[in-house]
Structure 1
Amino acid sequence: METVEVHGLRLAYHRTGHGPPVVFVHGGVEDSRGWTPQLDALSDEFTVIAWDEPGAGGSQDVPDEFGLADYADCLAAMVRALVGSPTSVVGLSWGTTVILEAYRRHPAVVRSMVLADGYAGWRGSLGAKEADARLAAVRAALAEPDDAFDPTLPGLFAGEPPALFAPLLEAMAADVRRHSMLTALTAMAQADLTEVLPTVQVPTQLIWGALDARSPLSVAREFERQIPGATLAVIPNCGHVSNLEAPGPFNELVRGFLHHHG
């Protein structure tokens, strides 16, 4: 992995391939390893960059009182440092919330975006009651002793986790830092970025698992309705982590979009 320092934080990232750049922004309780099948598949045509957000993977811990705006500012600064021009960004779940906030604060760094199984924040897409319930569940999980602590959020896959990526999922879960998990998911629970959706003026591809239980298709339809010109692709028999549950269809959708808008 390589590192770059932005806003006083050391951020780690994977970079591979050659061609137009595309930056991948992982979901909550993950790190850049969650994009392994995308790095492997798309590096034949693109320079693929996947960050470890602050507090994840090889990146430095999040400071106290770190919030959504700080994640977004770090992402924008990393894009400027590594790419130096507007770039395509791909986000999953919590990563879409970070991208939308980065676009709101730094629109010049985004050329186009792919938003997969995402949210305009939990509060924005699911409502206050569900957002508060999810955050309470997170706090309960974090209160468990070490031998019972499981950072895995429920409802990530339509069926059993894909056997091919089971070791990867276990490795990412083992490296979760409790303070970082609470910081990111608190920001997710508090965020309402619905007002950002109609302001998007860059090409946008939406990708959703048809059986996503965490961000249901009703959220996807609202994104499609609110984001001007957005196109929605739904992957059958697939849940929330669509890039791992259906990497073939996911990769082809991203590749096709980047051919036109990368």
Structure 2
Amino acid sequence: MPLTRVPLGSGAADVAYDRTGTGPGLVLVHGTGATREQWLPLTEAVADRFTVVAPDYSGSGGTTDHGGPLTLADLADEVLAAADHAGLDRFHLVGHSLGAAIATHLAAHHPERVRSLVLHAGWAHTDSRLRAQFTYWLDLLHADAAHGTAHFARMLPLAAFGPRYWERTSTAANEELVRGLAAALAPGIARQVEVDLSVDLRPLLGRVTAPTLVLAGAHDQIIGADQQRALLAGIPDSRYQEIDAGHGAPGEDPAGFAALIAGFLDERRAAEEVPAAGAPAEPAVAARA
């Protein structure tokens, strides 16, 4: 597992990432409390034609840092540093939830680096409703830490999954999922929720030049449709698509989620290749030392 050191506002981070496949670069940014393993189904679907880089940002997986407060800019710097270390000059960029906010920030500040952008369950700014929600998450996480409970993990399926999950699950299966979530949540999730509370991308949206897919969960109870409309209105070259799932579509329908994103990426790759007809094929990306 490669590591790269990144200077942050409050110290440094050693960012862990996976690099898989060959072809044009693709960087995947996970959501709050998750890790790079969130992207395994999509990686498996596209690694035959994309060089996939999936980092853990601070608070998750194999990445370690100073342990203090984080900013959206810090996390975007970590993602870009992983792409640099993996040898990606320009790349497609996909983010889920907080990962979508990180990806938007990166695409706005480094438009020359981003070929295309997919934002699933992203939001433009943390309004009063989202602030209440994220504050509640922190309350649950602090209570769990103090008392050894799993209130946050028990809340997650209720908030993150759509009707199809509940139609096919049982009480026993949901209890098993809650136990798994409680064990798998990233240790730095509370620090990441503090970043959720800080998001305000409205001044940056117009600076995103990459063709962008705003991918919404049709049953998302965490991020409202108003936030998707704000992303669409603010990003010049953007379009909208829905998946029949909730906020947690990567876990609720991993195959369908991967297929939708792979379709967009393949379309963008084909569009880039048209003007270069007859030119030499783009070489496989080589890792930097």
Question: Same fold per TM (> 0.5)?
Answer: yes
User: CA-to-partner distance for each residue in 1:111-131, whole Å, 9 max, x for gaps?
Assistant: 21111111124x1xxx1x223
Shift of residue 189, structure 1, vs aligned partner:
1.0
Q: What secondary structure sits across from 2:159 in the alignment?
A: coil
Shift of residue 158, structure 1, vs aligned partner:
0.4
Match of 1:147, as an amino acid?
Answer: G
Rounded to whole Å, the distance in 2 between the matches of 1:5 and 1:166 is 39
TM-score for both structures, normalised by structure 2 = 0.79
User: CA-to-partner distance for each residue in 1:39-95, whole Å, 9 max, x for gaps?
Assistant: 222212222221111120111145313211111111122222213312111000110
For residue 248 of structure 2, the aligned residue among 238, 241, 251 is 241
Gaps of 5+ in 1: none
Q: How does 1:1-262 map to 2 (within 5 A)?
A: 1-7=1-7, 8-121=12-125, 123=126, 127=127, 129-144=128-143, 145-152=146-153, 153=156, 154-159=158-163, 160=165, 173-178=182-187, 180-236=188-244, 238-262=245-269
Structure showing greater Rg: 2
User: CA-to-partner distance for each residue in 1:136-184, whole Å, 9 max, x for gaps?
Assistant: 2122112223520444345111043787999898656424355x22221
Match of 2:254, as an amino acid?
Answer: P
Percent identical: 29
Shift of residue 30, structure 1, vs aligned partner:
0.5
Q: What secondary structure sits across from 1:88 in the alignment?
A: strand
Structure 1 runs, 4 residues or longer, greater than 3 Å off: 149-154, 159-173, 175-178
Match of 1:27, as an amino acid?
Answer: G
Quick one: structure 1 residues 80 and 156, their matched pair in 2 at CA, closer, same or farther if it must change by over 3 Å?
Answer: same
Rounded to whole Å, the distance in 2 between the matches of 1:243 and 1:166 is 19
Quick one: structure 1 residues 218 and 75, their matched pair in 2 at CA, closer, same or farther if it must change by over 3 Å?
Answer: same
Match of 1:195, as an amino acid?
Answer: P
Q: How many residues align?
A: 255
Q: What secondary structure sits across from 1:29 in the alignment?
A: coil
Match of 1:176, as an amino acid?
Answer: L
Quick one: structure 1 residues 119 and 174, their matched pair in 2 at CA, closer, same or farther if it must change by over 3 Å?
Answer: same
Rounded to whole Å, the distance in 2 between the matches of 1:137 and 1:4 is 34
RMSD of aligned alpha carbons:
2.6
Instruction: Select between 191-200 and 28-37 the one with higher mean Cα deviation.
Output: 191-200
Gaps of 5+ in 2: 270-289
Q: What secondary structure sits across from 2:189 in the alignment?
A: helix
Match of 1:141, as an amino acid?
Answer: L
